Amino acid sequence: MGTVTWILVGAEWIFMAFICAVIGTMKGNPISGTFLGITLGPLGVLIVLLSKDKNRVPCPYCAKKIQKAAKICFHCQKEIVGNAT
C-alpha cells in the first residue's frame, strides 16, 4: 500500500475516534467512546451507538426518555418527584 492509502486510513481512523467521542459524550460516557473509536474504528462507532445512554432515564408516568436531572417531564409535563441525579 502506498503512502496516500495509509494517510487516508489514518484520517478515517481519527474521524471514527472523533465520532465515537461525540456520541459517547452525548450518552454520558466520552472516555469509553473515544477509546472504542481509536481501538476499533468503524466497529467502535457501532458499539457506541448501541450502548446504553447514561444521561437519560424513562419517565415514571409516560415512559419516554428524559434527562436524569429533569424536574418536569418534557413529554407529559408531570412533575418528577424524587428524581435522583
Q: What is the pLDDT of residue 53?
A: 83
Using DSSP's 3-state secondary structure scheme, residue 57 falls into: strand
Same domain, 22 and 63: no
End-to-end CA distance of the chain: 51
Same domain, 43 and 29: yes
Overall number of domains in the chain: 2
- State yes or no: pLDDT of 82 exceeds 80: no
Burial 41-59 (b: 16+ CB within 10 A, else e): beebbeebeebeeeebbeb
Structure-model confidence comparison of residues 2 and 82, the more confident one: 2
Domain that holds residue 46: 3-53
Q: Strand pairing partners for 58?
A: 65
Q: What is the pLDDT of residue 83?
A: 57
Tens digits of residue pLDDT in 21-78:
899 888 888 888 888 888 888 898 899 889 888 888 899 999 898 888 889 998 999 9
